[in-house]
């Protein structure tokens, strides 16, 4: 059932998944080789505007993949949140791009194409690969001396639609038009500097360009699925989990999770700022319900051992937050059973500085404090040794469903 999973090892088994990976890798290397990407002279020629095959092939691969990804997401075949997007570190990325660009010009290869050349026995490619490994070693030994810069200007999972403030479909169309203009400009440069005649290029390229534009317009017309539409596609399975109380964890389990060094715990308090200031759990982040989706990009980049627990005064607002997050494919999301009211009922037996009151409505704080104590109350982080609680553990880590990293062609 769509959306289809992207973790083939988990869903198809390692043998079949690795066979698929091998076939894709072979096909990718084959295409690079027949396109001339194993020839350093051809690769370097692009910087002299004599032969821009590299630009055309790589950008064509980029726009075809981009169109396929977002069209698949638009029709519900793929969950884009499960596709790994490299986090942006702006200035380190710019410096790294300049270093790689200079190396590309001088050496005639990039890391991926050097492996293609080395596989066909080209000596310059073999030496380039050895240089890559040496550079990796030197980087690993020295990165500690410039860590501050290396992790500076962090922007998270930052994409063109976010930067431009445009719907994804418009960005897909604009990128395709930009690429086609670059292809046309590249042909003119090849004519001027390389003596090539654009009229001799295959005419099928016009059909390919038209097909991409049509697909981009279809992607634009359909649009990317909303959070509500994503929830609707998974509601049958996920609503069953809610109704069966599979994701509501006992306060005792949350306390035990806080003490578990093998897990990274992220607690999101979705109550109003006033209630949060009155009392909240130590280290719980205040994320109002209407801002929960803003946290999704960073949550998707958390390590695989991260457990997210959402909480409100009772469970109503927390349940809504849970639906928002699971619809965006955030893994390992749980709800604090009974919310803050149940937490206080469980861990504040002395009632120090507070009194019980009848809640005036759904999901209201059932306790009145003498003052806004925030996390300074002892119940904000109770000592686990002082409580003997019985509960059924419910937290089960999901395997990371998206790839853990990206790479370079």
Instruction: Give the pLDDT band (50/70/90) at residue 112.
Output: confident
Is residue 7 scored above 70 in pLDDT? no
Is residue 408 scored above 60 in pLDDT? no
The span from the CA of 147 to the CA of 140, in Å, is: 11
pLDDT at 342: 94
pLDDT digits (tens, 9 = 90+) for 190-204: 999 999 998 888 899
Instruction: Give the pLDDT band (50/70/90) at residue 35.
Output: confident
Cross-strand pairs, 374: 279
pLDDT digits (tens, 9 = 90+) for 327-371: 999 999 999 999 999 999 998 766 566 667 766 667 899 888 888
pLDDT digits (tens, 9 = 90+) for 57-107: 889 999 999 999 999 999 988 889 988 888 999 999 999 999 988 988 888
pLDDT digits (tens, 9 = 90+) for 200-234: 888 999 999 999 999 999 999 999 999 999 999 99
- Write down how long the chain is: 409
pLDDT at 361: 65
pLDDT at 360: 60
Is residue 5 scored above 90 in pLDDT? no
Q: Which residue has the tokens 């991409």?
A: 212
Is residue 407 scored above 60 in pLDDT? no
Is residue 8 scored above 80 in pLDDT? no
Instruction: Give the pLDDT band (50/70/90) at residue 182.
Output: very high
pLDDT digits (tens, 9 = 90+) for 22-32: 998 889 888 88
Is residue 244 scored above 60 in pLDDT? yes
Is residue 402 scored above 60 in pLDDT? no
pLDDT digits (tens, 9 = 90+) for 38-54: 888 888 888 889 999 88
Per the prediction, the chain carries an average pLDDT of 89
Identify the CA nearest to 194 among candidates 43, 392, 46: 46
pLDDT at 1: 45
* Domains of the chain in sequence order: 8-226 (no CATH), 228-386 (3.40.250.10)
The span from the CA of 94 to the CA of 100, in Å, is: 10
pLDDT at 384: 77
pLDDT at 389: 85
pLDDT at 3: 61
Who has greater pLDDT, 385 or 71? 71
């Amino acid at each position: 059932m769509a959306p289809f999973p992207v973790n083939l090892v988990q869903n198809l088994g390692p043998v079949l998944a690795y066979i698929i990976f091998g076939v894709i890798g072979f096909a990718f290397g084959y295409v690079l080789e027949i396109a001339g990407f194993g020839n350093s002279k051809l690769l370097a020629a692009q910087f002299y505007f004599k032969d821009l095959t590299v630009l055309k092939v790589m950008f064509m691969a980029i726009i075809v993949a981009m169109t396929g990804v977002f069209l698949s997401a638009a029709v519900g075949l793929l969950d884009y949140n499960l596709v790994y997007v490299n986090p942006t570190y702006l200035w380190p990325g710019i410096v790294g791009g300049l270093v790689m660009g200079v190396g590309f010009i001088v050496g005639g290869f990039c890391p991926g194409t050097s492996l293609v050349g080395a596989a066909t026995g080209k000596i310059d490619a073999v030496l380039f690969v050895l240089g890559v490994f040496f550079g990796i070693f030197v980087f690993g030994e020295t990165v500690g001396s410039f860590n501050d810069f290396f992790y500076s200007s962090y922007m998270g999972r930052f994409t063109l639609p976010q930067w431009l403030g445009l719907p994804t479909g418009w960005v897909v169309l604009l990128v395709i038009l930009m690429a086609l203009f670059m292809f046309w400009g590249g042909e003119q440069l090849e004519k001027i500097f390389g003596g090539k005649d654009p009229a001799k290029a295959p005419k099928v390229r016009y059909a390919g360009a038209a097909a991409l534009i049509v697909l981009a317009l279809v992607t634009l017309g359909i649009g990317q699925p909303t959070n509500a539409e994503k929830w609707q596609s998974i509601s049958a399975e996920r609503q069953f989990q809610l109704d069966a109380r599979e994701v509501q964890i006992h306060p005792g389990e949350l306390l035990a999770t806080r003490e578990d060094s093998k897990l990274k715990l992220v607690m999101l308090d979705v109550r109003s700022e006033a209630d949060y200031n009155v009392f909240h759990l130590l280290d719980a982040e205040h994320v109002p319900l209407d801002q929960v989706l803003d946290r999704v990009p960073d949550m998707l980049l958390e390590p695989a051992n991260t457990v997210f627990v959402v909480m409100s005064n009772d469970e109503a607002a927390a349940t809504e937050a849970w639906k928002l997050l699971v619809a965006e494919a955030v893994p390992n999301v749980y709800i604090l059973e009974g919310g803050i009211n149940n937490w206080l009922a469980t861990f504040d037996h002395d009632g120090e500085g507070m009194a019980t009151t009848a809640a005036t409505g759904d999901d209201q704080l059932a306790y009145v404090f003498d003052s806004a104590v925030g996390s300074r109350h002892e119940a904000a982080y109770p000592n686990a040794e002082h409580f003997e609680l019985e509960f059924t553990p419910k937290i089960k880590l999901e395997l990371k469903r998206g790839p853990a990293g990206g790479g370079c062609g």
